[in-house]
Amino acid sequence: MVETLLQTFVEDCPARFAALETAIQQGDAKAIESAAHAFKSGSGTIRATALAERLAGVEASAHSGQLESTAMLFEEIRVEHAAVLRQLEAFFNGN
């Protein structure tokens, strides 16, 4: 079951990341909040805590209308997102 959950995250991750990136580029607070929330939920489910915390920060910033900080936070999300995917790749490859 855990492997299926992790595989689902890996498959969903690119679309969730892209949706958040697009929303931030467009400056759409509602879309940022929604995309960050969905991505945060998946990240939390697989215990990608650092990624989930950064996504929660973006979600809160968008909710309060403070979009200036979302671009900086997104760069942190980009780094954590890549780290999580590397770890999952190692897991699936048995490393």
CATH number at residue 62: 1.20.120.160
How many Cβ atoms sit within 10 Å of the Cβ of residue 36?
A: 29
pLDDT digits (tens, 9 = 90+) for 35-65: 999 999 999 999 999 999 999 999 999 999 9
pTM value is: 0.92
Hunting for tokens 């403070």 — which residue is that?
A: 66
Mean pLDDT of the chain: 94
Name the residue range of residue 34's domain: 2-92
CB neighbourhood size of 62 (10 A):
27
Distance CA 67, CA 32 (A): 9
pLDDT digits (tens, 9 = 90+) for 4-41: 999 999 999 999 999 999 999 999 999 999 999 999 99
State the total domains in the chain: 1
